[in-house]
Amino acid sequence: MDNDQDLEKFKIGIYQNKYESSELIELGLSLLESGYFQQRWDVAKLFPKLGEEIIDPLLIILENETFEIEYRWFIARILSNFNDTRIIITFTQLLQTSQEEEILDVVAEGLGKMGISAIKSLETLLQQDDYSRLLAVKALAQIRHSETIKPLLKVIDDPNPEIRAITLECLGSFHHQQLIFILINALDDPASSVRKEAVIALGIRTKLATEYNLVDHLKPLLYDLNLEICKQTVLTLGRIKTNEAIEELSIVLEKQNTPIELKKEIIKALSWTESPQALTYLKQALFSENLEICGVIIDVLGIQKNEAVRYQASQILRDFLLHNHPMSQETKIKQKMATALGDLGDEIAIKCLKKLSTDSNKSVQLHAISGLKKNE
């Protein structure tokens, strides 16, 4: 009952300006902390009418994780009504550090709602100290509006590699063709985090690959000292799908000193291209690689979806089986071949499965029979 009376007092104070704002802030916070949901909802709708003096006390509560989540959820909703640098920065920090999904949802929505109006406030922070610039860039990255491009370009060469990486990741999400040269230049950045973001961004611009010679710019990163960048470059070249991109991937696949982990990514990328040329390179690798790599190649051959290369995949597996290559006699390889052939299911695959169904190894027989049943 007391809460109902306090709520009525709060409403009267807001609408009729009967009480000091400090008293109303204290009363409103008390209702937000202890009221039931509808009371909290009513207070949250009216609280912004008290103006910017409520910001600091509300921010203190929002940042204190010892308070109840629902209480802080309402606080975040109230703060979302203001376009204030303090709120933008706090919201951005919470997005980076908080694990509370309810709070994160409101904070992200709040930043989005502030949108363009928040950009000017954040732009002023880009001229301040390293920490302020970092927070501003993180906030601009959350807003994701084309109006953020201009301020972000001011820090594309920032001394802090984290700022450069976040900036590049954000710019990479905009399909403005004039940004392509910035992305290409970033491939030579001394920071691996920046190079990686550049490779990722170029991976969603595959239609520009020929016009800007992206394969030539990307291929040195197949040999980057950072293995994660090598992997990301493989993915990007796989998306480009041109004969030139496929050839560069095959060159790295053929090298003996290429890490097995990277070879696996290359095999997957080549298979995604659904290109006859790519499958030819996979065939070459199948006859020259170790057990683990052979198994990965057989797996990807079996999942080809494009009819133009499914038949080619079956031919490759048949040749490998009939060639009596030492690797093709391994039980695990025969099992994988039976599974792949069962998935392909064409005339060549069926003939190979019948041969495998008479194998001396019982497990291979069962895999082959399963493949045949799949195609009955």
Output the domain CATH number for residue 313: 1.25.10
Q: Residue 262's CB: how many other CB atoms inside 10 A?
A: 18
Q: Does residue 187 form part of some domain?
A: no
DSSP classification of residue 129: -
Number of residues written out for the chain: 376
**Domain carrying residue 335:** 288-376
Residue 352 lies in a domain: yes
d(CA 342, CA 344): 6
On whether the CB atoms of residues 144 and 136 are closer than 8 A, the answer is no
Give pLDDT, residue 15. 81
Q: Per the domain annotation, does 232 fall within a domain?
A: no
DSSP letter, residue 249: H
How far does Cα 240 stand from its chain's mean position? Answer: 18
CA dihedral for 284, 365, 307, 233, sign (positive or negative): negative
Is residue 309 one of the residues assigned to a domain?
Answer: yes
Q: Domain for residue 332, yes or no?
A: yes
Into how many domains does the chain fold?
1
On whether residue 303 sits in a domain, the answer given is yes
Whether 17 is in a domain gets the answer no
Please answer whether residues 108 and 88 qualify as being in contact, where contact means their C-beta atoms are separated by less than 8 angstroms: no
pLDDT at 288: 82
- Amino acid in position 120: K
317, 337 Cβ separation under 8 angstroms: yes
Rounded-to-integer distance, Cα 294 and Cα 291, Å: 5
- What are the average pLDDT values for consecutive 10-residue runs of the chain, which has 376 residues? 77 80 87 89 90 92 92 93 87 82 83 77 83 84 86 95 96 90 97 97 93 96 97 97 96 95 97 95 90 94 91 94 86 94 94 93 93 88
- Is the Cβ–Cβ distance between 205 and 237 less than 8 Å? no
Whether 166 is in a domain gets the answer: no
